[in-house]
Amino acid sequence: MTTTRRHFLATSAAAAGAITLLPYAASAAAHMSDAFPTAAGDVTVHPIEHASFVMETPIGTIFTDPVGDAAIYADFGTPDLILITHEHGDHYNAETLAALVGDGTQIITNPAVFAMLSDDMKAKASELANGGSATYNGLQIDAIPAYNTTEGRLQNHPQGRDSGYVLTFDGLRVYISGDTEDIPEMRALENIDVAFICMNLPYTMDMQAAASAVAEFKPTYVYPYHYRGQDGGTQNPEEFAALVGETAEVRIGNWYGDEVMPA
């Protein structure tokens, strides 16, 4: 599919350049949101926590890697689509999933998580391996590899198991990295308008590697996310933004309540 790259104007609580810190709360209003226009209407991004976020879109409400208390998603209603990148507890939780899924909810996940689902959940789910594609209500979903490349970390996210996703709306392409290092498949992405890029050691990559990858595939907007880890000095989102510079517009979401950089 060929997509023409466009520059989008997003609106958010940080549109004027200030970063607002808010207490973590079970309310949509407590999370910064950004609206990105498509030909069919806005895609509105709501950071929830760590690796979890919600997108309200013209084709339905999409939850990505929902974990934690189901009450924190209450303001968004029942999801139409749930995307799961991999099996780790900060990305997949069976109890949370069961509490959120409605009669019409569809789930797309990597094969490893699909194998873990209950029979009831499998009836609502499709597995999508690296390199695979699916459609949901006209939305194209491509599974992008997500894996570690550094010796000593390969067991965290072995190549071929976990996924990222590219979602192609009508005039907007969104990349969700999942847990990955700076891999060729990410650098080869094209025409990405909004990217969610993980960074935390020792599980994924540091902010220098993340910024270097962004400099190559050049998304219009980028959200650093999944940046809570053991070494805070390698994953500070504001320092990441400085490294990215004018390559992309960095959006820092309210992922960790009143802390920009948790310990």
Domain boundaries of the chain, sorted by first residue: 28-250
pLDDT of 195 above 50 = yes
Over residues 82-87, mean pLDDT: 96
Cis before 202? omega within 30? yes
pLDDT of 101 above 90 = yes
Question: Using one digit for the tens of pLDDT, what is the confidence trace for 216-240?
Answer: 999 999 999 999 755 555 688 999 9
pLDDT of 95 above 70 = yes
Per the structure block, which two tokens stand in for 220? 């219009």
Q: What was the pLDDT predicted at 231?
A: 58
Query: Is pLDDT larger for residue 55 or for residue 89?
Result: 55
Secondary structure of the chain in the HEC alphabet? Answer: CCCCCCCCCCECCCCCCCCCCCCCCCCHHHCCCEEEEECCEEEEEEEEECCEEEEEECCEEEEECCCCCHHHHHHHCCCCEEEECCCCCCCCCHHHHHHHCCCCCEEEECHHHHHHCCHHHHCCEEECCCCCEEEECCEEEEEEEECCCCCCCCCCCCCCCEEEEEEEECCEEEEECCCCCCCHHHHCCCCCCEEEEECCCCCCCCHHHHHHHHHHHCCCEEEEECCCCCCHHHCCHHHHHHHHCCCCEECCCCCCCCCCCCC
pLDDT of 21 above 50 = no
Whole-number percent of the chain with pLDDT over 90 = 75
Over residues 12-16, mean pLDDT: 31
CA distance 48 to 143: 22
CA distance 113 to 46: 24
Tell me yes or no: is domain 28-250 CATH 3.60.15.10.
yes
What is the number of other CB atoms lying within 10 angstroms of the CB of residue 258?
Answer: 10
Q: What was the pLDDT predicted at 89?
A: 87
pLDDT of 251 above 50 = yes
Q: What was the pLDDT predicted at 152?
A: 87
Over residues 157-172, mean pLDDT: 96
Q: Indicate the range of 18-32, 138-152, 207-221 predicted with least confidence.
A: 18-32
Q: What was the pLDDT predicted at 24?
A: 32
CA distance 30 to 21: 10
| CB contact set of 130 (below 8 Å; sequence gap of 6+) | 110, 143, 144, 145, 160, 163
Over residues 135-145, mean pLDDT: 97
CA distance 55 to 193: 15
Looking at every residue in the chain, the average pLDDT score rounds to 86
